[in-house]
Amino acid sequence: MVIVRHEANKVYAKVVEANGVVTTAGIIPSDLSRDAKGQTAEVLAEIDRLLALCGTNKSRITSASIWLNDIRHREAMNEVWIDWVGGEANAPVRACVEAKLVDPRMLVEIQVIAVK
């Protein structure tokens, strides 16, 4: 089984492919001045970019994991999420829980698994 690692450094790869399954890292925002909606939008745009690197896209996501540094950001995140997913024909399974992230100003982290 061939493994393809994209944008890897010594700590982690941004996205990995193996056997037709594409897994992103837990993607975090870089602009920490934005609110939960803005940070979610940045993270989802980065996920779009990473899936495209692997020749797949958001309509092929099977599973998503979402961590919020405060579960009360769920509604704001969901607004952006629902628009991005684009309808029930694309909806993955999802788990969304609260967790402290690397920096207290980081409000959201998202990881997805897609197939090609």
Phi-psi region of 62 (alpha: psi -120 to 50; beta: other; left: phi over 0): alpha
Q: Which residues bind a second copy (CB under 8 A)?
A: 1, 3, 5, 8-16, 18-21, 23-26, 60, 62-65, 67, 71, 74, 78, 81-82, 85, 87-89, 91-102, 109, 111, 113, 115-116
* Residue 33 or 95 with smaller CB distance to a second copy: 95
CB distance 109 to 26 below 8 Å:
yes
- Nearest approach in angstroms of CB 37 to a second copy is 15
Of 109, 8, 96, 115, residue with least CA distance to 51: 115
- Nearest approach in angstroms of CB 53 to a second copy is 13
